[in-house]
Amino acid sequence: MNSVWLDSVNRFDNLGSLNEDVEADICIIGAGIFGATCAYYLSKLGYKTIVLEKDDIATKTTAFTTGKITSQHGLFYSYLIKTFGLSFAKDYFDSNEEAINNIVNIIEDEKINCDLELQNNYVYTASASSIPAIEEEISAVQSLGGSCEFTTTTSFPFKIKGAACFKNQAQFNPLKYVHALCQKSIDRGTTFYINTVATNIEKHGELYQTFANNHIITSKYVIVASHYPFMKLPGFYFSKMYQSTSYIIAIDAKKTLPNGMYICSDVPHFSFRTAKFNGKRILLIGGFEHKTGLPVSYKDSYGALENEAKSLYPECEVLYKWSTEDCISLDKVPYIGSYSPTLPNVFVGTGFKKWGMTLSNVAANIIVDKIQNVDNKYAEIYCSSRFDAFKNFKEFKNMMVQSANSLIFNKLKPSEEDFEEIPNDSGGIIQINKEKVGIYKDVNGKVFAVKPICTHLGCLLSWNDVDKTWDCPCHGSRYDFSGKNIYNPAFDDLETYDIN
Ligand SMILES: Cc1cc2nc3c(=O)[nH]c(=O)nc-3n(C[C@H](O)[C@H](O)[C@H](O)COP(=O)(O)OP(=O)(O)OC[C@H]3O[C@@H](n4cnc5c(N)ncnc54)[C@H](O)[C@@H]3O)c2cc1C
């Protein structure tokens, strides 16, 4: 899978993997936008920092994002006020507004060429029945001292009934930005190790030992920037977070495109933004989210986006299709802070719920302040040790039922698929001698066989015929058709069988 962003940067060609024990002030695990932002700030402060990256710099969620930089996270502020109160919601709003400024300032100060453009952001509805929710949101934002306007027109060729507009938001090419942050950090002495998988962290007195590639990194602080935290215990993040997948297509509309970033407040939450690519202005259309690991069809994902594109721009050409996933906490607020009370100087930032451009900056600032022992007025609302299943009991129950099914009941059910009936370029689970075996046949009929059991907690995987991956319905780990792990929290590949 490829994205516009991945095709617009060159890979770093001078990074190696960890092959010795090392010492540092800070060890960062993961080089997506969050890990890269932490590395950038810490390098400016002169800390000796190393970054461990399982694959390559920013090739996971950050590489497949939409890249809108906004504090308008859907219709979110009325929810926050109702659930947590005014002061909490104001801190959330202010922290994300500050993050936009921080990102713009970094880009200007460091002269980063990442196609930054100031844009208005709109949450719109095409349904009259959703207007009260839009109006309620506008009042909520205004009660926080924010500016949010009602409008009934957009410059896009679709009709709306109304929209809440945040002015002075922004969009950029997220990978050009992240690559520049990494390069600036490298220039200031940070070392990045790629193809280096962190597998555990242990506390030894005042120091921490991180284990990766059969070597040990000893540091005073560790930042877990691996998207979904890879360590099960302590922390228990797997019991308070799930992952959600969405789809994006990039089109050449063959027409002049208007300005603005848009997201629909109603399902399927269509999202639009333009982007600069190869000297042209193209359009990204996103949407069709579902819990990672649940069944999905082409028709209900890329197919539906293509239909939307054709209905708006009949002459359009689809240039790219991609999907990715993000972590959602039970109460929809990220977890930022200490990984667990027993690991006080190990920090985490996760649960960015598809708004990680600003939230990763908020997280990096909170954690860098903690390392420097500086008070951060936003730290409390994001406190990572909270666990309140009742804020979203419906999703908590869903998670528990899904886990019980995938861990126990579905494993006991005999597989109904037959090897012969699996067509080329498709997959499924068959039964061989009472053992479940995951089969993928490539376009030429070559067979890839895996043990379809997630290496994280042992859940039964499901075949995703849209992206040709093995997906975990429990916590959202994903593997390619050959069993190579792509997404966390699992980090080990699947066991494979040679049955050709
Ligand atoms: C479809 C979609 C659209 C989105 N659009 C927007 C948007 O418009 N605006 C917005 O603000 N947000 C958006 N988001 C959210 C945003 O993209 C994410 O929140 C953000 O990219 C997450 O960054 P990250 O650094 O936490 O994770 P990642 O980019 O996934 O980085 C984590 C890194 O850690 C590495 N890693 C994992 N495990 C280990 C290990 N054990 N050892 C070493 N390294 C490890 C991984 O390989 C990876 O490189 C979107 C999300 C989705 C799903």
Give the DSSP letter of residue 407. Answer: I
Beta carbon of 51 within 6 Å of any ligand 1 atom = no
Which residues have CB under 8 Å from 394's CB, separation 6+? none
Residue 480, beta-bridge partner list: 469
**Which of 352, 486, 492 is the pocket-test mutation for ligand 1 (most atoms within 8 Å of CB)?**
352
Verify whether ligand 1 is closer than 6 Å to residue 61 (CB atom): yes
Ligand 1 binding pocket includes 325 (Cβ within 6 Å): yes
Sign of CA dihedral 362, 367, 368, 374: positive
Confirm if 469 and 487 have CB atoms less than 8 A apart.
no
Atom of ligand 1 at shortest range from CA of 199: 41
Q: Do the Cβ atoms of 190 and 39 come closer than 8 Å?
A: yes
Listing DSSP states for 206-219 in one string gives: TEEEEEETTEEEEE
The best mutation among 28, 52, 66 to test binding of ligand 1, ranked by most ligand atoms within 8 Å of the C-beta, falls on 66
Of the candidates 488, 481, 484, 446, the one whose C-alpha atom is nearest the C-alpha of residue 467 is 481
If you take atom 4 of ligand 1, which residue's CA is the nearest one?
65
Range of lowest pLDDT (31-45, 70-84, 345-359, 383-397):
383-397
Question: Is the CB–ligand 1 distance for residue 488 below 6 Å?
Answer: yes
Length of the chain: 500
Atom from ligand 1 closest to the CA of residue 198? 42
Eight-class DSSP state of 129 = G
Written as one letter, the residue type at 54 is K
For the cut 80, the answer to whether the pLDDT of residue 500 exceeds it is: no
Residue 69 has pLDDT above 70, yes or no: yes
0.85 cut: is pTM over it? yes
- Nearest residue by C-alpha to atom 18 in ligand 1: 356
CB 447 within 8 A of CB 278: no
Residue 385: DSSP 8-state? T
What is the residue with the minimal CA distance to atom 14 of ligand 1?
Answer: 354
Tell me how crowded residue 110 is: count the other CB atoms within 10 A of its CB. 16
Q: Can you give the pLDDT at residue 21?
A: 98
- Look at ligand 1, atom 51, and give the residue with the nearest C-alpha: 354
Bond into 489 cis (ω within 30): yes
pLDDT at 389: 64
230 CA closest ligand 1 atom index: 41
Residue 434: pLDDT band (50, 70, 90) is confident
Nearest CA to ligand 1 atom 37: 226
User: Cα of 409 to ligand 1 centre, how many Å?
Assistant: 31
Residue 62 Cα, ligand 1 centroid: separation in angstroms? Answer: 4
Torsion sign over Cα 239, 461, 55, 251? negative
| C-alpha gyration radius of the chain | 22
- Ligand 1, residue 52: give the atom nearest the CA: 43
Helices of type H across 372-442: 393-404, 410-412
Cβ neighbours for 285, distance < 8 A, ≥ 6 positions apart: 248, 249, 251, 270, 271, 272, 305, 308, 309
Ligand 1 center–CA 311 separation, angstroms: 31
Pick the residue whose CA is nearest to atom 33 on ligand 1. Answer: 30
C-alpha closest to that of 461 among 320, 329, 292 = 292
Q: Which residue has the higher pLDDT, 388 or 424?
A: 424
Q: Is the CB of 54 under 6 A from ligand 1?
A: yes
- Say yes or no to pLDDT of 138 above 80: yes
Q: Is the CB of 366 under 6 A from ligand 1?
A: no
Q: Is the distance from CB of 309 to CB of 316 less than 8 angstroms?
A: yes
What is the pLDDT, as a whole number, of residue 405?
73
Residue 412: count of CB within 10 angstroms of its CB = 7
Q: Are 164 and 150 in contact (CB under 8 A)?
A: yes
Please state the φ and ψ torsions of residue 172, each to the nearest 5 degrees.
-155, 180
Expressed in angstroms and rounded, the spacing between residue 224 Cα and the centre of ligand 1 is: 12
CA of 32 from ligand 1 middle (Å) equals 6
85 pLDDT above the threshold of 80: yes
Spatial CB neighbours of 314, under 8 Å, sequence gap ≥ 6: none
Q: Domains plus CATH for the chain?
A: 6-64+175-234+332-387 (3.50.50.60), 117-171+241-329 (3.30.9.10), 396-497 (2.102.10.10)
Task: Tell me the DSSP string of 143-195.
Answer: HTT---EEES--SSSS--SEEEEEEEEEE--HHHHHHHHHHHHHHTT-EEE-S
Q: Is 358 in the pocket of ligand 1 (CB under 6 A)?
A: yes
Q: What is the pLDDT of residues 344-393, one digit of tens each?
A: 999 999 999 999 999 999 999 999 999 999 999 999 999 998 877 667 77
Torsions phi, psi for 426 (to 5 deg): -150, 175
Instruction: Kindly give the distance from the C-alpha atom of residue 477 to the centroid of ligand 1, in angstroms, as a whole number.
Output: 13
- Average pLDDT on 164-176 reads 97
Provide the pLDDT for residue 211. Answer: 98
Q: Per DSSP, what are the bridge partners of residue 245?
A: 290, 325
Q: What is the pLDDT of residue 404?
A: 73
**Closest residue CA from atom 16 of ligand 1:** 356
Three-class SS of residue 50? strand
Helix axes 356-371, 33-44, angle to 10 degrees: 40
State the pLDDT at residue 57. 98
The per-residue pLDDT for range 97-132, each reduced to its tens digit, is 999 999 999 999 999 999 999 999 999 999 999 999
Judge whether residue 324 has pLDDT over 80. Answer: yes
At 49 the three-state DSSP class reads strand
Whether 316 shows a pLDDT value over 90: the answer reads yes
- pLDDT given at position 390: 64
Task: State yes or no: pLDDT of 239 exceeds 90.
Answer: no
Alpha-carbon distance 180 to 190, whole Å?
13
For strands 191-193 and 49-52, give the pairing: parallel
The best mutation among 37, 51, 52, 61 to test binding of ligand 1, ranked by most ligand atoms within 8 Å of the C-beta, falls on 61
The residue assigned the tokens 């520049």 is: 180
| CA–CA dist 365, 235 (Å, integer) | 21
Longest dimension (CA), the chain: 65
Sign of torsion over alpha carbons 418, 423, 428, 433: positive
Is 8 in contact with 176 (CB distance < 8 Å)?
Answer: yes
The pairing of strands 317-329 and 261-264 is unpaired
Ligand 1 center to residue 101 CA distance, Å?
A: 21
| 7 CA distance to ligand 1 middle (Å) | 17
